[in-house]
């Protein structure tokens, strides 16, 4: 998981403040891949309590939501939805004073309208006390909540900001050893500001000499393909020299034989 940058840490504190003071429905919105899950995970880790956490893309109707909440709290799924909600109300939950909501719903923009209405009813106190709930999703989530009938009170909305130059410098400093970022990085920032993972991947895959304004005092790194090519050239040269020496030696021997032909002396007949 990526470490939080400055703007994301500020977002965590805004959520904590909204949970403590609003004590109702809080909405965190941002683009897909912008880091909403990272922010929520940090919010939970910094708090002394563990909220009920639901995945919006796996939730069905209102009954399904109630059954899942009952199951997460260890209660028996008996009776009507109202009965189970009443039993949930009587169960002691951590206080929102810690800045952590009682229920967190990820991918809430994928919820059905009747389920969104249920979460609003829980935060409005329709089943007894008021619940503290954080809905996490994309931008259209706020519009869908505003379109519910009857019109609910506007939730406390926290928008995850796009990364800026300072966020990028902080995150890239953890991955690279360079300190200054060039105009090329600024162009990458404008393209991927809403997607930190793709942004850092684009930086990591770019040559370090293209990303920095200066490389004073740095020793360039020789790549593995270049080292292999140099070794191959040296070995090829040594083989060529050996073969050339053999050819020269053979040629010299042949020339010596021509210059000094052998004289054949016939044997004298053996006369007895």
pLDDT in tens, 197-212: 676 676 666 645 454 4
Give the E-state strand segments of 13-76 in sequence order.
Answer: 25-29, 52-55
- Considering the domain architecture, whether residues 125 and 201 belong to the same structural domain is answered as no
- Considering the domain architecture, whether residues 74 and 124 belong to the same structural domain is answered as yes
- Considering the domain architecture, whether residues 65 and 199 belong to the same structural domain is answered as no
Total domains in the chain come to 2
* Phi, psi dihedral angles at 256 (to 5 degrees): -65, -40
Please give the distance of CA 106 from its chain centroid, rounded to a whole number: 17
- Considering the domain architecture, whether residues 91 and 199 belong to the same structural domain is answered as no
pLDDT of residue 65: 92
Q: Which domain holds residue 113?
A: 6-159
Q: How far apart are CA 82 and CA 206, in angstroms?
A: 57
- Considering the domain architecture, whether residues 149 and 186 belong to the same structural domain is answered as no
pLDDT of residue 1: 52
- Considering the domain architecture, whether residues 94 and 125 belong to the same structural domain is answered as yes
Asked if residue 241 is part of any domain, the answer here is no
- Considering the domain architecture, whether residues 66 and 137 belong to the same structural domain is answered as yes
pLDDT of residue 95: 65
Q: Are residues 145 and 11 in contact, defined by beta-carbon separation less than 8 angstroms?
A: no
Asked if residue 1 is part of any domain, the answer here is no
- Considering the domain architecture, whether residues 85 and 113 belong to the same structural domain is answered as yes
For residue 271, what are the CA distances in angstroms to 264, 265, 266, 267?
21, 18, 15, 12
pLDDT of residue 214: 44
pLDDT of residue 231: 61
Task: Give long-range contacts, CB 8 A cutoff, 24+ apart: 181-189.
Answer: 181/211, 181/212, 182/210, 182/211, 182/212, 182/213, 184/210, 184/211, 185/211, 189/163, 189/164, 189/165
- Considering the domain architecture, whether residues 126 and 186 belong to the same structural domain is answered as no
Asked if residue 217 is part of any domain, the answer here is no
Mean pLDDT per block of 10 residues along the chain (272 residues) reads: 78 90 84 87 81 91 92 87 85 73 92 91 84 91 84 78 77 56 60 67 60 44 47 68 66 59 51 50
Q: Which two tokens stand for residue 37?
A: 């899950």
**What does DSSP assign to residue 74?**
T
pLDDT of residue 109: 93
Asked if residue 231 is part of any domain, the answer here is no
- Considering the domain architecture, whether residues 56 and 147 belong to the same structural domain is answered as yes
pLDDT of residue 229: 55
- Considering the domain architecture, whether residues 59 and 173 belong to the same structural domain is answered as no
- Considering the domain architecture, whether residues 148 and 184 belong to the same structural domain is answered as no
Asked if residue 252 is part of any domain, the answer here is no
SS3 state of residue 152: coil
Q: 94: domain CATH number? A: 3.40.50.300
Asked if residue 45 is part of any domain, the answer here is yes
Asked if residue 236 is part of any domain, the answer here is no
pLDDT of residue 227: 47
Asked if residue 10 is part of any domain, the answer here is yes
pLDDT of residue 68: 93
């Amino acid at each position: 998981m990526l470490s939080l940058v400055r703007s994301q840490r500020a977002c965590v504190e805004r959520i904590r403040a909204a949970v403590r003071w609003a004590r109702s429905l809080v909405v965190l919105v941002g683009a897909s891949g912008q880091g909403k899950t990272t922010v929520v995970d940090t919010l939970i880790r910094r708090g002394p309590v563990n909220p009920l956490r639901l995945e919006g893309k796996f939730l069905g109707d209102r009954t399904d939501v109630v059954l899942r909440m009952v199951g997460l709290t260890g209660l028996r799924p008996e009776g009507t939805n109202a009965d189970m909600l009443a039993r949930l109300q009587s169960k002691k939950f951590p206080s929102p004073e810690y800045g952590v909501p009682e229920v967190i719903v990820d991918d809430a923009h994928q919820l059905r309208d009747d389920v969104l209405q249920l979460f609003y009813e829980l935060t409005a106190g329709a089943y007894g006390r008021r619940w503290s709930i954080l809905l996490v999703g994309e931008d259209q989530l706020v519009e869908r909540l505003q379109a519910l009938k009857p019109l609910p009170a506007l939730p406390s909305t926290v928008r995850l900001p796009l990364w800026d130059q300072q966020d990028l410098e902080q995150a890239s400093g953890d991955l690279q050893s360079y300190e200054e970022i060039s105009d090329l990085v600024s162009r990458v920032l404008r393209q991927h500001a809403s997607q930190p993972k793709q942004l850092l991947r684009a930086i990591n895959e770019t040559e370090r000499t293209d990303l920095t304004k200066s490389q004073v005092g740095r020793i360039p790194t020789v790549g593995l393909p270049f080292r292999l090519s140099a070794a191959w050239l040296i070995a090829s040269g040594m083989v060529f020299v050996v073969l050339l020496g053999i050819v020269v030696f053979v040629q010299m021997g042949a020339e010596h034989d021509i210059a000094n032909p052998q004289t054949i002396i016939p044997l004298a007949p053996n006369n007895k």
